[in-house]
Structure 1
């Protein structure tokens, strides 16, 4: 996720909710905003998994059923993660700093604690409940899966634990591992469901998982660039807070180039078929455009929005291409 937090301070930063004598009455919509249900960028990995497994498993009801259960489990994990993320960001004041000056562009309502529509105890109860639900749901997923390779079971547990600890407990993002987490969660949430369904993975599946995981990391880097001053003031460690703006821009350009090299190189080394780099040509073009918008025109938030769209376009193209291959080869 791209929510930005650091370690909590001794006393909460004053927010709109602190001036109210009575706690707000949260609605389902408020909790939906706390859970960031509009952030679909990790969940869309499951249709990609379905498309990848189709040539091997065919069109099966049990496959779709397990993927739907995994979707619910992933939603629970993200809900817990972002609820704790919002509490920490509210306590240290980083959310107020990062969302205050550009609330119209970044929708302050997505931060219920800062907006005053939810109290800290309410958010904590929600986060703890979502954590319990996550454990129950992922246990059920593993129990019902047709295959249980050890690496996939460990991967599922690692994704769950790391997500909850993202801004809470170990505070992974606070300690400088945010960028690694963003790509790791995306990779894990492609490989783990695939492994539970198929029992193994091949090189081409891994390449597509890396492309998928790289999407949230790249638009997270643009978020970090925009939020560098607020994060730095709160003591949060990201690449953008620890290096100069020039070095940070070089870092983002380099990672964008790595994605392009992965797309082209995987074909040159015989891992991906010929159509893979052809299908992703629009994604490469969009990456170049977002670099221009972000670092030539200087509009980082617009570049971030385009990076989000680029990730979604990449996933749609991969799903379509994998489905087309499956049907053309008669495997579906």
Structure 2
């Protein structure tokens, strides 16, 4: 951190914050942001809708997979907080001059955890995640080699997202946020069924864009802090107008995936209509963020849109099941 960031941190910590270590570790793991974990419901509904046989071995496999997913992501965000504190970007983005951000969400900056504690937590969560994903592979009814390789790559890349080689600092953040969501649908589905399904691919692509479409609003808000530490995102690299167009393109891509799925038969003909409520909310999100200039409200809207999308995906699968 620079001297100015040190002074900013001291100003922020002028009033000591007290909370339990357990609570601080929960905050470090960002367990309140559960949007990736909703993949479980999409996968379960997709298995019911697209397969004729359902093995009881699927349930313990899915439990292990989701528990591993939680641990891997807890490790990722803990490493991210550790790096963001060390380079000063979190002090800039969550400091007293950013009143819309809750400082307790960053335990290192708030002073409720030390960097050493965060680092130990990150490595412990990573080890637990590796063990649980290994268990999911071993106890599942199927283990396609491409799925195993995909999970290994995802695990390794997750640890390098903001730590080690810091992929998110070198222009890979946006693709990772989407790709992680794709993996968290496709991998457990393949472990459960031994194959892949076109409709499931459509759902995975839509699911992965959800977290990305609140991540890009965060990046828009964090431009100055990211630039100060050399963290390369689309928002920190291009002009405001180009960034607005980029986010609009992502929003349109989400709609286009459903539309192409319906037109080609990869998804039911009515699928694009079923996803229309999420599409309309996505348009409102962009308008709020880039026309009205309320980026943080638009970011919060992104969580609601993603959760609505998950609900609509589950309902679409159940309708496919009901229609036979």
Task: Specify the TM-score bucket, using the shorter chain as the normaliser.
Answer: over 0.9
Decide which of 31, 36, 51 is 2:45's aligned counterpart: 51
TM-aligned CA deviation for residue 234 of structure 1: 1.4
For 2:36, what is the secondary structure of its paired residue?
A: coil
Q: How does 1:321-332 map to 2 (within 5 A)?
A: 321-329=316-324
**How much does 1:154 deviate?**
0.9
Alignment of 1:256 onto 2:251 = yes
Distance across 2 between alignment mates of 1:19 and 1:207: 47
Q: Which residue of 2 aligns with 1:4?
A: none
Q: Aligned residue for 1:129?
A: 124
State how far apart, in whole Å, the 2-side matches of 1:127 and 1:118 are. 13
Name the counterpart of 1:41: 35
Unaligned runs of 5+ in 2: none
Aligned residue in 1 for 2:22: 28
Shift of 1:16: 5.4
Structure 1 stretches lacking a partner, 5+ long: 1-8
Question: Is the partner of 1:237 in helix, strand or coil?
Answer: coil
Match of 1:194 among 189, 193, 197: 189
| Kept in 2: contact 1:228–1:240 (CA 8 A) | yes
Shift of 1:61: 4.0
Aligned-pair distance for 1:324?
3.0
Measured at CA, do residues 85 and 327 of structure 1 come closer, stay the same or move farther in structure 2, by a change above 3 Å?
same
Q: Aligned partners of 1:203, 1:58: CA distance in 2, in Å?
A: 18
| Equivalence for 1:111 | 106
Query: Residues 18 and 296 from structure 1, CA distance in 2 versus in 1: closer, same or farther, beyond 3 angstroms?
Result: closer
After superposition, give the CA deviation of every residue in 1:234-260 in whole Å (9 maximum; x if it has no partner). Answer: 111000111111111111111111211
Tell me if the contact between 1:17 and 1:115 (Cα under 8 Å) persists in the aligned partners: no
Q: Please state how far the C-alpha of 1:54 moved relative to its aligned partner.
A: 1.2
SS in 1 for 2:168: coil
Task: Give 1:130-209 correspondences, 5 Å limit.
Answer: 130-209=125-204
Contact 1:17 1:119 in 2 (8 A): no
Q: Does 1:316 align with 2:311?
A: yes
1:190-216 per-residue CA deviation (whole Å, 9 max, x = no partner) reads 000001000111221111100000011
Deviation at 1:105, TM superposition (A): 2.8
Shift of 1:278: 1.3
Larger relative contact order (CA 8 Å, sep ≥ 6) = 1
Tell me the equivalent position of 1:227: 222
Contact 1:176-1:238 at 8 Å conserved across structures: yes
230-239 or 25-34: bigger deviation: 25-34
Once the 2 structures are TM-superposed, how far is the Cα of residue 13 of structure 1 from its aligned partner? Answer: 5.5
SS in 2 for 1:173: helix
Match of 1:95 among 90, 94, 116: 90
Other structure's SS at 1:308 match: helix
Sort the Cα spacing of 1:11 and 1:48 in 2 relative to 1 into closer, same or farther, 3 A. Answer: farther
2:163 & 2:3 partners in 1: Cα distance? Answer: 16
Matches of 1:150 and 1:36, distance apart in 2: 31
- Find the aligned partners of 1:18 and 1:213 in 2 and give their Cα distance: 35
